[in-house]
Each structure stands twice: as C-alpha cells, then as structure tokens.
Structure 1
C-alpha cells in the first residue's frame, strides 16, 4: 500500500508516454557494379605469357626432380646401418626432397591461376535449381568453359608436367614403405616375410618374465591384485642395441596383470595359460601396432591411446570397443621352482596389427 508522500507513487502519477523519435530512413544502397577490369601484363604481352607458361611447367618438372631426389636419398643414406649420421642425413635429404616437390606443385599451380588462367570478372546469378536434363547440359557447358578459360586442354606442356609432378610426388612415400620389413637374404631367408617375423618373438619355454627396463625377474608373489607390469624376456636384458634389441623388444613387450580368480573367464584350451589370476598379454595393439598401456583395474579393461580400442582382460583380451579387429595375443605363463613367473612357450599367433596376412 502506498503512503502519502510516497515518491514512487508520485512518479507513477506524473508519468506520460513520450512521443516516438523520428528515424530517418535513407534510400537503399545502390549496386556500384564491377570495377574497371585491369589487364595483367600477361594479357597485354604475348612474350610475358610465354614466360609465365615456361615458369609453370618448369616448376612442375622441378617437382618431379625433387621427388626423384627423395627416392635417391633414401638409397644413398640408408638408415639400416644404425649410424646417427646416416639417420640424420636420411631424414634431412628425404624431407627436403618431398618438401620441395610439394612446394613446387603449389607455387606452380598458384602462378598458373594468377598469370595464365582467365582473369575476367563476372557475375553468376543464384537461384533454386532442380536436377533435370537442362541442368546436366549446363554443367557440361560450364566444364567446357572452364577448360577454355584455364587453358587446361590447350596448354599441353603445363598439363603434362602437372600430371608428371603429381604422379612423381607419391613415389617417395611408396618407396619409404620398403623400410617396414628388411629384405630377405641367404643368411636370413625369412627377413622379408612379415607373417613369419611377427609369429616369432624372443619368448620361449622357460623364459623368465623380467621387469622393463631393469631386466629383473619378477615373482608371482610380487604381482598384486589390480597391478600391471611391463615385462620382457629375461634374455633381452643382455642384448645390446646393435644386436636388434629394439626390434625384438617391440615384438616381445608384454603387460602382466593380476585379477581376482573368479573374474577370469577362460576357454578350456587356455585354462592353464594363467597362474593364480595372473595373465600376460601382448602390449602391441592389433589395430596398427600402438602400445596398449592404460589399464583400468575395476573394469579390467585395457585401452589403446592411439585410436581408443578397448580390450577386456578378464575374457581373453577380446575387443569391446574401437577399430581393433582381434583380441590381444596371450602369452602362456606359469611359475618355476623358485616362484618366478616364466613363459610356457612363445605366442601361439602373430603379434601386432591384424592387417598382415596370416596363415
């Protein structure tokens, strides 16, 4: 209730609606049209046009040469020797070749569009269209016009050099795939067979499971519930890096975990592959070979951080999510007379990515 002399009540009584403010509305902005066309030097001087054309196809052929150089550098500076100088030179010169090949294509394409292709301005009206025969005819006509304006059909040297540069640019990448597996030789006939290489690791019957990187053998009593250890064959601890240590370790690396015995779901043929709830699985993801490293002890799930594949350790490391195509290979384990964990054998299937052809 308002009281006498209330200032708010006085304001309500004295308020009156004000007149609206007048807003000046100007005439709509007129379309200024296109600015006067400025001819390029290549439009006015035929000699300049010829120089521009030569520049473009020269850049494209330089791209071809750079791609070839990248392949040559791969052969001149082999990384198989393990020398840091060779590895540095290999990365440097192959990288320079590929980078210059890509750069030359880009610069050539930009110079082509700026100096040679049609430079006339035009307005393209937009309106709703539906697919019909006349639309198809218009598209064909547009392609013909684009071909005429760009000179793609007439500029044979530019077109052919561009095709050559594009084809050559992928050759270094193809050649680099050679390094995925070494070539076979009389001394090592299986070196070029990825199935054989991934089917055999340094694990063998009686190999003790050793902590990585110390190489100390681990006892079953040290593996507590919920724990996860990265282990390698004890034999790897005595292998020097020059004896293929990294290659062998990459194939043999294993994750060791202990689960409650009642949580394990094992098939009949694998019931003796674990020991008192302790299981061992390859750490190499079966998608593209990334290291599976994240273990969630409550759900018993393993996660590959590269592409989010998830494996259920309690049920044979089967895939429960992600792009991996098959479970992680299991290493059969047991204990020796001293209580140390040992391997019963090597893996019974190839480790690593499942895109390899398998027997």
Structure 2
C-alpha cells in the first residue's frame, strides 16, 4: 500500500484512479462564477443603494421606536388580536430596525464584498507568530476588499443606523424607575376620599369594623366608574395606585393606643389606618396578632407595633409603617384626612432612616 503524501509536499502526478490503494486525487475547485455586481457597474451601484436604503430605513425605525414610546398610550389595545398597542409598536419598530441592519449586512457581503475562494489548511491550536502576522494582514486585506473605505454611502448609512439605534436604549432607561423628585412618593389619598373594602369596593363605616379585626382597604376612587361603566382608573395606572395606596384598618381598645406626638386624633373610636406596604422592600403585610397588636411582614419577618405608631420592633425594616389620618364624612363613612406624611414603600438611601 502506498503512503499518503505528507502535507506541504508537491502533489503526486502518478496516481492511478483505477488502483484502490491510491488515495483519492484532489478534485480541485469549479470555475469561478462572477456575480452581476462584479462585471456590471450599474448593478454594483444598484446593490450599494439597496444596502444604504436598508440602513437608512433601520435608522428611521429606530427613531419611530422613540416616538411610539412617548406617543402611543400605554393601555391602548390594538384591533388586531388584542395586543397592547405600545408593546406592538415598540416591538415592530425595534425588531424591524435590527432586521434591516442584518439584511443590509448580508446583502453587502453577498453582492459587494470580495468574492473569491479561501483555502485554510489545518494547523495546531496555537498559531505561530508568522501565522498570526499573516492573519492580521489578511484581516486588513479583507477590510480593503470589503470596500468599507471606498464606499462612503454604505459606511455612513451603517454608522448612522447603528448610532441612532442607541436612542431606544436611552429612551428605555426611563422605565428603570421614576424620575427624581418628591412627586414619586405621593399617593392618591386626598382629604375627604373614602376608604373602601378592597374586595367589595364598598365604603366602610366605623361600626363595620369589629375589635381585633384587620381589614384590607383601598381608595374608593379605584372602584369608581364613568358614564360608560368603565373604571375611572384602570390598567397599569390602577396597579400603580394599588401598589402605593393599599392600607390596612384595625380596631383595638382606645386605651391600648400609644399615639405619637401630633397623632392623638388620627384614630376613630380605636380604628387605626396604616400603609399595607412594608418599609423594608415593599412586600404587602397583613399577618395581624390581635392580642399584641403586632403586624408581621411575611417576606423577611419585619414586625410593627400598630398600637405604638407602627414602629419597628423586629426585623430588617428601619422605618415605621406610614399612618393615614382618619375622619368620618357626613354620611358616616371613613375617610382620609390627607395623604401619608411619611414615604410609602421600601427604604432608599435618600430617605431618612430611623436609628
């Protein structure tokens, strides 16, 4: 049996195709087929305009993404399959922009970049210094052959599309949280707003709360409807209101209440009202011990004494539960006498924390 020639030597010319002991001869490569853009300048310019057009349209779609983010209402639904209009518009514009950049790059590579066969022999895992220098030279040669430097229309349109594509990322930073300012800490509670049961939506009278009972409640405005029977507050806005304005009501003997200074008249016949949102990381709380008047957060076991201004007596929370001042309107329903004086929700570095 004849031996296979080692790699790097001249190919053999004495191979007999009829002899099964000889290795298969190298079939070679077929004749190169030139593309229309290689031989026709008009076709080349047309392909260049196509690629630039895709990049340009990608830039416009990226701008449309930013416009849709602010112009399309968050809770509006489309007539097609009931998708949320804003999500549909954002996905369509951003997805289309990325798709066109990809299609433009493919079109550029297939019709305008250098078109020739490349043979790469196997080599050890680590290339020699000479091979590395050769590879770097080939990379630079590929850059030149791609026409990146001599096709300013494609180059500039690509840079423009990629640059504008960064705008959606900047716009989406707005969803990371509310902008700085005191307004972000306010809730919908106002003076005279009735307190409603969070299940039935009905306003609550003091006589309906028994001693030792804890009641989960919300602002009555969440259950109001307009002339068409639609909720006044709905969708994402309603969820945001619930997340900040949810409260708990409980009744205890008035003699058990140790009201902080300035809050002596915040209760009604032993009924107190506190935020339902834990001041540690914002979990909802409602595990009430009527004998001790303690309420426990189920997430990290922060414990608050509702009889003593909602102060923390155990756990990682640093601030007392915000208390809502109560009153009674002309029809005998419990109402808020204003918004919370303290910040509702988890603690942040800029919020003063009690020692």
From 165, 175, 200, the equivalent of 1:214 is 200
Q: What is the distance in 2 between the residues matched to 1:49 and 1:329?
A: 72
Deviations along 1:53-105, one digit per CA (max 9) or x if unpaired, are 22111111122233334445567x5538x876899766665554434322221
Q: What is the distance in 1 between the residues matched to 2:87 and 2:167?
A: 16
Match of 2:148 in 1: 152
Paired residues in the alignment total: 290
Structure 2: runs of 5 or more not aligned? 1-19, 251-259, 289-295, 305-311
Q: What is the distance in 1 between the residues matched to 2:158 and 2:24?
A: 44
Change (3 A) 1:146 1:353: farther
Structure 1: runs of 5 or more not aligned? 1-25, 182-191, 259-267, 303-309, 321-325
2:113 is the alignment partner of 1:117: yes
The 3-state SS of whatever aligns with 1:202 is coil
Change (3 A) 1:349 1:42: farther
Change (3 A) 1:230 1:126: farther
TM-score normalized by structure 1? 0.54
Match of 2:94 in 1: 98
Change (3 A) 1:151 1:348: same
Shift of 1:230: 5.3
TM-score normalized by structure 2? 0.55
From 282, 292, 313, the equivalent of 2:302 is 313
8 Å contact kept, 2:188–2:245: no
2:48 is the alignment partner of 1:53: yes
Match of 1:198 in 2: 184
Q: What is the distance in 2 between the residues matched to 1:318 and 1:127?
A: 64
8 Å contact kept, 1:257–1:280: no
8 Å contact kept, 1:253–1:284: no
Q: What is the distance in 2 between the residues matched to 1:137 and 1:332?
A: 72
Change (3 A) 1:162 1:343: same
Q: What is the distance in 1 between the residues matched to 2:210 and 2:155?
A: 69
The 3-state SS of whatever aligns with 1:118 is coil
Q: What is the distance in 2 between the residues matched to 1:294 and 1:117?
A: 64
* 1:168-317 matches, cutoff 5 A: 168-172=164-168, 174-175=170-171, 194-203=180-189, 210-216=196-202, 217=204, 219=209, 221=211, 223=213, 231-234=217-220, 236-238=222-224, 241-242=231-232, 246=238, 249-250=241-242, 252-254=244-246, 256=248, 280-282=275-277, 292=283, 302=298, 311-314=300-303
Q: What is the distance in 2 between the residues matched to 1:250 and 1:69?
A: 32
Shift of 1:164: 0.7
Change (3 A) 1:101 1:283: farther
Deviations along 1:131-179, one digit per CA (max 9) or x if unpaired, are x987985675354234224333332221111111112234355457679
Q: What is the distance in 2 between the residues matched to 1:207 and 1:60?
A: 55
